[in-house]
Structure 1
């Protein structure tokens, strides 16, 4: 971590020196000299950091030296951030005087983008601002003090005889490949050899499923939380999760829910050895029916003994042959056979050092996949890392190899993950935002921080440092976990910096000096704590992740003023104190699921460095701050499920850095004032999904075009919602909707489109221009009678049509008979001239089309055309007048589900009829 931190500071200091020389700022000469001296010292230290970081694992004195260096570096980073923030605020104040605002235009002047830490914070600022910032009290003096500390550290390094090694600073583009994750190969026991995987195989076995009334899986992990475990069991039984907080009440609820049910309960990854914690749960679990079974996985035999296990399976290491097979599956993936033969002898010697541990074999296999030459393999075999003894059963060396194979910037990102508890479900997008908040991700004109974060994440996944991936429909990872041993490894290397603390109302908080070393702090809550007590002595914390629900955090904003990331998700807070402005370094603020939070104080707008503001599920939130336009560095504003938020301040138009805006409220100001759609104009970098709420308030006349959705090429999803209160001062004219929706034309790159409660009579013509669209949902478009030729859309995979009450027939036009060109296909059995209707459609659904009678018989359509060749699922619900399905649907190898379609059911073959409201399914028939 020190290497990445020093590199970050050096880049900034070099820019400072260059800028001051270029501008010839005489008033900052004293600062310039100190900066030059600091730069020189850091450059001398930087050359030995790679060697020092490797030696710290086995040499305590080197670890202490690195800790001193990191403490000094953090101090310097805070000072530079304070300086850059002063410049940024000066720029905001300067532009405030240039704001142009009148009754006819809600768009405010967007201030010039100011670069701030970790990018060069002086490169875009005028001399006057530089002078003002350097005159902040004590800047030169503080740098001089840091120089003195650094001199001592630099002299001390000479006694260790470090080698000068430069670590790779940028990821190898050839290494940004996803790995072949082999779940089956993770079977078998001991630390890191697949206890959880073996339990999953038993849990999902068909005979096991048939034997028990119900199966329940609970990831216990550390700390052992009886209330959380009991609530998880109740929820999986099928009852609503109790809101109780007392242990006794929760356990009584659990007893009732499992009573007389034959259950298989898997308690995965148990660590607690205290029988007093296990005893209450054990007694309650005995209320299940005879034959119920509890399966426990644990790394400790003492845990199994404490829990009274009737049978213990001590899982053994892999055989040498199995270990080699697992290693070679990863290490030789994609290699020519002759290369494999050349490396096999060295590879088997490396595998012998894995000691039969699949996690070690998997980690080393992933690593050696990126080592292309025999010399590189030999270097791994001959490394001194194998001589380390501070590892649990030989796992530390393989993990160290994998870690040191990464550039220092990615290493730092991995070690940050020690902040999460064991078995924590890490959401990729959240993790990347947290990395951004710490300044771990670089950016440039051609590469955004979020893209860099995505690449870093993929690199860590390819090195087997993440696992248990959850993917979206596109196959992209959205969530993962860390193996508990990999987690231990990260915590081993970040001890004292990343701390997970259990807070308890019954215990007096310690004021030990240890907490001043903490940089990243996670709070968990003791199971019986009502108002947990928090230690505010961790004054140097840069991250506070609150996982303790209903926690009171008085004095937070007085003490933890160096925070870069603050997560108060579900903290049951009613208001944010005005003192939030004290958190001048803050980049990430998560206030999600605080359901009683009505508004934010204007003081939030003083957080000029803020990049991510997360307000999802703040269902009582009524307004955003009026001065939100001051947050010119805000990149992500998340407002999902904020139904009471009905109006946006006009200052939001100044947020030209936004990448995420999950919701935008279209304001209804009547016909005398222009709509606020123009506020979207300067948000040229919007990505993801944009939800436009309140479109019923728009009138035609070109105002909607001012949003310039057509120019937002990175916007991939759009939800157009016309539901809500009609305009004041007149009757809503549905013809307006026809014109308005045409003006909302998005960029052709759009991949997802939802149109909701649209009252016009025709769908927008631009739909057919969305050649990249994969998902289309039309809901409550009540006045539309006809559908456009959607079969011509080449990329459409999901189509759902809801409550279009005027649709009576699904004509041949729906299939796209008017297509002017053949749609290319990749199926070898098709000729190049074959026309395809809905070439990629997989899922099709019709819901509540109460007047739909006829579905055009496809058999009489073009002979040279294929229709929905990839369709796998068709759902039809509440279409009472529909008389028949096309013959092709009845014979195709697809799953068809029909509900509440009485006429259609009587038209089906006798053997396929079902009662009203029941499912009718056609399984694969071909």
Structure 2
């Protein structure tokens, strides 16, 4: 477990304790001074952890850090009591019952009893923390001020030399970059600069960005293109003065440089910034130059613009190549689109591996090792540095068992040198802010190659309390979206797709290894090969049936997450569930999807910290215990796909924290009282409710943002007029549904128009020959429109051309749809258009030949199916990762069996 991981845990706890709401609560219950004392000591310990990161000798510190972790976890459990107490009070007040109020006054939850208990618990935890702080000083640690920030250990400075014969598989990439160097400048960079082009090369650490830049830099054709070439490794802090010095030095360090010029180079460190910029402009004046800025980490746009102003002195056609791991940095700097570097092919990886594992030609003597090497290469996922790392570790080792050990081990378990793959990737981790590092770590609970949606990972982060609003105004869902955007920007996510209201993505295998390395005993994935689970585990997932040996699981009471992420893998042992519920009283996230038990134990109500309960796809469960309403911290409840579920508990409305509710039920009518007090509800889903005819019509859902109805065959209408904040609507396979609003109802809320951004309609919605009239109310906000298998749809409304924010339009298997409305070229924000299974319309949209092509040719990504194809092609599925079952998946064609919702 790394110092940074423990630091992030301590930092997260300090952030919660420092919130305005928490401080107000502590004052109200008379424990403010006790809390401040704890915070002060925790701040000291956090500073000690920063110093521990810098120490080479960490002998004995592992147990010390483990104690800090335990104290922080116990403290969070105690401090959650403030929130629980507040929610109990809300329920009591909302009930209006005098008996309940009197009972609460004399219970263990009364204000007086609560104040006494909290004071005692805070004192106990503070005493433990004081001892840990004292122990830290005995290790020779000193408190480092938080203002100094964490020291980031960066890679060594790069240079421009490369032996091209040592580089494998980058010939095509080199040709593409040289083509870009030969191209004229695009139409400016948004800052009025038309003389300086920037070509960003982007990718994760170890992918070979620097190597590719070297290949280009040393190509003879580049010498003919540019009069002056300069190589600068930025890497460390983006100090403009130092970068200018490096540029000038690089310009002087040419083969033709005289001894006098080199002597002059040695003195420029003493020049001030004014003298340096003058020298730089003189050097670049009249020159067509190529400048490589390698390893950029700076995200401050003002600094970049300031530097760019100083290096504009070359003639038109001068270019900069910038390498970075960050998409946002590339976007900030680039005048050309980012060149996103892909991994090497398996054949190239094998060639590179053999080059590092054997002397030249030696591999022919060891065919058995080569076969094992092919399997080792697969785990490198195309990343050359990973290939080199593993190949180097096996150089001159001809024992097959050693190769098998490398093949079967996680990369983070193998010995690593400073410039090997894991340390290089850890640089990206070290560079991230604390809150982002903390969230990233929990990807390690899921298996490799797992397909995530933003909705699904948000549930976990929310349950673990990782989504803290800085100003108290952001919702957890919006905070999580910002975090995912930033992780994607930093190249931590791959196969990234933006569906408007949610994202789909994966985590690169090597970055998954990094998450495992950081979390170590904190998180574990349980399969048939798992022999034991550490007592320190707080989060685990089970990915194989038959791996649930009760002796395997730790006796610890500190487990916070239990997860079944793989479809078809669930809990069958009721006794195991009873054990978990009784033992793991601090659970925050309990995923029992694909399980098979008829009832939940009544003891589930003891899980007072539980925030997510997923029972989806349990084919046996019929009801919940009525005492479920005592789980007042519960934020997500999923009964989706519980086909035998009979009726919702009447007291469900007491779950006042509920934000997401997924329902499958045999009820034909659901009592209005179930929803009356759910004032925080953000997402509501009705799925496979075959008997349900009517939804609520008298409850005003002032917070609901996402409504999903799927396979509700008897549902007649949707009361959309009572959903003023609706942002996403999914209607799938509801054959009796009329999407038109009732008479005398409009879809405008009191503050203006609807704010809908996402609309998905699919599967035989009757009488839908065009979109409902209320679509007019969302023309200014809609960003994603998905229409699938609508066999009666004949035309799209003209208002479609006024949807100026529309980014994605997906139309599939609407065979009677023959026309696009005129004016489609007005949709300048439209980035992705798919039309398929619409025979005549596909013919009219064919690239360069179709009648409609001039209207849609401006769109960045256009996919048009074959004209004249009336039936859906076999194996072709058109659906976004469907939101109704956001836990596991079985119908998204791009994803293999390891995937998530």
Q: TM-score range by the shorter chain?
A: 0.5 to 0.7
1:627 alignment partner, SS class: helix
Quote the residue 1:539 is aligned against.
Answer: 557
| TM alignment of 1:731-746, pairs within 5 A | 739=742, 743=746
For residues 590 and 51 of structure 1, the distance between their equivalents in structure 2, rounded to whole angstroms, comes to 41
What aligned pairs does 1:20-99 form with structure 2 within 5 A after superposition? 28=30, 31-53=31-53, 55=55, 59-97=58-96
**Aligned residue among 856, 863, 883 for 1:870:** 856
**1:457 paired to 2:484:** yes
The alignment status of 1:618 with 2:649, answered yes or no, reads no
In the alignment, does 2:714 pair up with 1:663? Answer: no
Cα deviation, residue 656, structure 1 = 2.0
Equivalence for 2:474:
447
1:545-583 C-alpha deviation (Å, 9 max, x unpaired): 235545422422111111111122223333322211111
Aligned runs of 1:164-179 on 2, under 5 Å? 164-166=144-146
Task: Report if the CA contact (8 A) 1:539-1:562 is conserved.
Answer: yes
Question: Over residues 241-278 of structure 1, what are the superposed CA-to-partner deviations in whole Å (9 max), with x where a residue is unaligned?
Answer: xxxxxxxxxxxxxxxxxxxxxxxxxxxxxxxxxxxxxx
8 Å CA contact 1:536, 1:556 repeated in 2: no
Residues 691/325 of structure 1: CA separation in 2 closer, same or farther (3 Å cut): farther
Query: Where does the alignment leave 5 or more consecutive residues of structure 1 unmatched?
Result: 100-110, 112-124, 171-184, 199-315, 349-363, 381-387, 726-733, 828-837, 848-853, 860-864, 874-891, 902-926
Given that 2:802 and 2:826 are in contact with CA atoms closer than 8 Å, whether structure 1 keeps it comes out as: no
- 8 Å contact kept, 2:626–2:651: yes
| CA drift at 1:436 | 1.2
Higher relative contact order (CA 8 A, sep 6+): 2
Match of 1:153 among 132, 148, 163: 132
1:429 aligns with 2:491: no
Q: Per the alignment, do residues 722 and 143 of structure 1 end up closer, same or farther by CA in structure 2, a change over 3 Å counting?
A: closer
Among 681, 684, 694, the alignment partner of 2:703 is 684
**1:715 counterpart = 2:727:** yes
**Alpha-carbon shift at residue 669 of structure 1 (Å):** 10
Separation in 2, partners of 1:448, 1:43: 27
Deviations 1:701-739 (A, max 9, x none): xx947x423x22x513342876359xxxxxxxx9x9674
For the 8 Å contact 2:591–2:613, the answer to whether it is kept is yes
Report if the CA contact (8 A) 1:550-1:570 is conserved: yes
Cross-structure match for 1:162: 142
Q: 1:749 aligns with which of 753, 756, 763?
A: 756
Partner of 1:288: none
Contact 2:815 2:837 in 1 (8 A): no
Q: Residue 584 of structure 1 aligns to a residue in which SS? A: coil
Contact 2:85 2:109 in 1 (8 A): no
- Corresponding residue number in structure 2 for 1:566: 590
| Partner-residue secondary structure (3-state), 1:843 | strand
- RMSD of Structure 2 on Structure 1 (CA): 5.6
Correspondence 1:217-228 to 2 at 5 A: none
Distance in 1 (CA, whole Å) between partners of 2:831 and 2:534 is 60
- Residue 868 of structure 2 aligns with which residue? 897
Aligned to 2:881: none
- What residue is the counterpart of 1:358 in the other structure? none
Contact kept in structure 2, 1:704 and 1:744, CA below 8 Å: no
- Gap runs ≥5 in structure 2: 151-163, 174-205, 218-230, 252-293, 308-321, 326-411, 846-850, 873-901
**TM-score (norm: length of structure 1):** 0.56
CA distance in 1, matches of 2:17, 2:775: 51
- Using the size of structure 2 for normalisation, the TM-score is 0.57
Whether the aligned pair in 2 keeps the contact of 1:520 and 1:541 (CA below 8 Å) is yes
In structure 2, the partner of 1:523 is 542
Alignment of 1:543-562 (within 5 A): 543-546=561-564, 548-552=569-573, 553-554=576-577, 555-562=579-586
Q: Is the 1:762–1:786 contact (alpha carbons within 8 Å) kept by the matching residues of 2?
A: yes
Aligned pairs (5 A) from 1:686-705: 686-687=705-706, 689=708, 693=712, 697=716, 704=719
Q: Given the alignment, which residue of 467, 474, 490 partners 2:515? A: 490
Aligned length: 625
Which of these residues, 13, 37, 46, is aligned with residue 9 of structure 1? 13
Q: List aligned pairs for 1:69-468, cutoff 5 A.
A: 69-97=68-96, 132=111, 134-135=113-114, 138-159=117-138, 160-166=140-146, 321-322=211-212, 324=214, 365=295, 367=297, 391=416, 394-443=420-469, 444-467=471-494
Query: How far off its partner does 1:48 sit?
Result: 3.3
Aligned partner of 2:655 among 617, 627, 631: 631
CA-to-aligned-CA distance 1:371-409 (integer Å, 9 cap, x gap):
96999x9xx9xxxxxxx9963562343233222212211
How big is the shift at 1:530?
A: 8.3
Flag the 1:743–1:437 CA change in 2: closer, same or farther, 3 A: same
**Cα distance in 2, alignment partners of residues 621 and 135 from structure 1:** 38
How far apart in 1 are the matches of 2:431 and 2:36?
32
